Structure 1
Amino acid sequence: MKNILIALSVAVAGVGLGAPASRAETAHHMMVSPAELKWADVPSLPPGVKIAVIEGPLNEAVPITFRLKFPADYKLPAHWHPGIEHVTVMSGTFNMGTGDKLDTTKTNPLSAGSVAIMAPRTQHFAWTREEAIVQVHGMGPWGINYVNPADDPRKK
């Protein structure tokens, strides 16, 4: 594996910014099972991805945790985020690379259990062959900026 640790995180402006309704929670303790996750569409990503916000809201300067479910044969164009990204692959293989254009030959395959960390403003991209679920955590607010503005689904 290359020496560069890479990561994906995704902003989800306007999508389920709160945590799931059914969970065990106190002011300093929370437990959530996979069955309790509430999946929603992600308008800031090309169609097909689903998000489940675990901790948030994503648009505030608070700790955030969310999962993204990517379908098979998905391509996420080159983009960057204003904050650091911490990504853990929960299932499937998530292929990630750095640069200003998606190039499937220049990626690292990250299998379940893999972790990637991306510094703020690092241009990167991703793709899948099979369904993959990743968990992203960090500090909000979260944002996504596409290298090529024409790739931004919010502008279509």
Structure 2
Amino acid sequence: MFSFRTLSAAALICTLAGGSALAQTGNDVRIISGADTVAWQPAPPMFPSGTRMSFLYGSADKAGPFTLRVMIPAGSVIPPHTHNMDEMLTVLGGSIHHYIGPAITADQDKVLTAGGFVHLPPNVPHALKAGTQGAIVQVSGTGPFTMTYVNPQDDPRHTNR
């Protein structure tokens, strides 16, 4: 699993579930100097246990652009789901198996490594599985963001974490 040093406790962060906007520096400029200065926190319960998240810009639950990073533990699966918006996903570290469609099938398995990119229009069902070293992905879009599991029983919010 990739791990990055987190910012000091004074760092300003935003949670997907909490909805507070990430504070911006003057004139809406936001600079993160390197991977070691990204502030990670537990992801909301709609993601697999152990997943961590960092908001780099914006707030996914409000109208407007956002960019976030997701650190997915090795072997973790995000079952088939859809989003209400265009999603742009870039693999920054590790690898993911990406699947398009309402089920995870071998014929849809596309392995993406660092630098790999996916654009998904709204409501396209897809899934992913982190590789053996885990993965860090960056997601950009325009909120508000929703995530709906194709099979509601796959939603981690309906199971004990």
TM-score range, shorter chain: 0.7 to 0.9
- Do the aligned partners of residues 16 and 90 (structure 1) sit closer, same or farther apart at CA in structure 2, a change above 3 Å counting? farther
Q: Give the total of aligned pairs.
A: 142
Q: Conserved in 1, the CA contact under 8 Å of 2:75 and 2:130? A: yes
How much does 1:26 deviate? 2.1
Q: Does 1:137 align with 2:152?
A: no
Q: Structure 2: any 5+ residue segments left out of the alignment?
A: 1-14
Residue pairs, 1:112-123, within 5 angstroms: 112-123=114-125
How much does 1:36 deviate? 2.5
- Do the aligned partners of residues 132 and 104 (structure 1) sit closer, same or farther apart at CA in structure 2, a change above 3 Å counting? farther
**For 2:122 and 2:75, how far apart are their aligned partners in 1?**
27
Question: Higher relative contact order at CA 8 Å, sep ≥6: structure 1 or structure 2?
Answer: 1
**Percent identity (aligned):** 30
**TM-score (norm: length of structure 1):** 0.82
* CA RMSD in angstroms, aligned pairs only: 1.9
How much does 1:102 deviate? 2.2
Q: Conserved in 2, the CA contact under 8 Å of 1:45 and 1:76? A: yes
Residue pairs, 1:12-27, within 5 angstroms: 13-15=16-18, 17-19=20-22, 25-27=25-27
Q: Structure 1: any 5+ residue segments left out of the alignment?
A: 1-11
Q: Does 1:84 align with 2:86?
A: yes
Aligned match of 1:151 in 143, 151, 154? 154
